[in-house]
């Protein structure tokens, strides 16, 4: 998340529209990357990551009047809401899969990217998700917050209740494991 001036947050809380717009401009890109990292491309769930990011931004602004500074970065507040909205989307996707069996596959409405590109993106997401599933939940959350959302180790530590050095160590170990697994997977492909 872009560095936020605490004054902007407090002005937005008091109802300053310009500060609210500046706050949205600062938080939205990181929230969007976080949602994409946690939900994947459309098709992995029935909820688009862009829609969940929009819900997060709306929820942040609805919760602003109740925001209390507890000594944590404002990012902890934002990504706490984001984590809850992503969890809601996963639960909704699970309910959707159980309740609505698909008899036929609908034709794609917009073929701008093309089926090949969708297939490649879905395959890449499947492979990366498969690798990430071997990590602990904490390591997956750290990767999503650090890499996808762009938060600092201090901000991730505040969100997860860890020290910044513990965040960096867990991230380093997770990335080393992912590199090792990726090297193994590339070796298998090249051997074919």
- Show Cβ contacts of residue 61 under 8 Å, excluding neighbours closer than 6 positions: 12, 20, 24
- The CATH number linked to 42 is 1.10.10.10
Structurally, the chain folds into a number of domains equal to: 1
Q: For the packed helices 153-160 and 74-99, what is the interaxial angle rounded to 10 degrees?
A: 60
Q: Which tens digits make up the pLDDT trace of 28-46?
A: 999 998 888 888 765 455 7
CA proximity to 146, closest of 34, 60, 40, 71: 34
Q: Which tens digits make up the pLDDT trace of 18-31?
A: 998 999 999 999 99
Q: Is residue 124 part of a domain?
A: yes
Q: Is residue 1 part of a domain?
A: no
List the helix and strand counts (H, then E) for the chain: 8, 0
In contact, 4 and 55? CB cutoff 8 Å: no
Q: Is residue 153 part of a domain?
A: yes
Distance separating alpha carbons of residues 40 and 93, to the nearest angstrom: 13
Q: What is the pTM of this model?
A: 0.60
């Amino acid at each position: 998340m872009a560095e936020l001036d605490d004054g902007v947050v407090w002005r937005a809380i008091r109802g300053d529209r310009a500060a609210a717009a500046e706050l949205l401009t600062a938080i939205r890109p990181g929230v969007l990357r976080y949602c994409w990292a946690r939900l994947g491309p459309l098709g992995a769930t029935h909820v688009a990551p862009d829609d969940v990011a929009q819900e997060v931004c709306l929820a942040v602004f609805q919760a602003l009047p109740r925001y209390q500074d507890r000594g944590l970065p404002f990012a902890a507040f934002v990504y706490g809401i984001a984590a809850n909205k992503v969890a809601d989307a996963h639960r909704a996707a699970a309910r959707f899969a159980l309740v609505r069996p698909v008899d036929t596959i609908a034709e794609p409405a917009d073929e701008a990217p093309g089926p090949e590109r969708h297939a490649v993106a879905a395959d890449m997401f499947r492979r990366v998700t498969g690798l990430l599933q071997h990590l602990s939940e904490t390591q997956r959350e750290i990767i999503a917050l650090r890499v996808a959302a762009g938060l600092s180790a201090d901000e991730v530590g505040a969100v997860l209740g860890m020290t910044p050095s513990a965040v960096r160590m867990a991230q380093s170990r997770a990335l080393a494991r992912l590199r090792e697994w990726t090297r193994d997977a590339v070796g298998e492909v090249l051997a074919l």
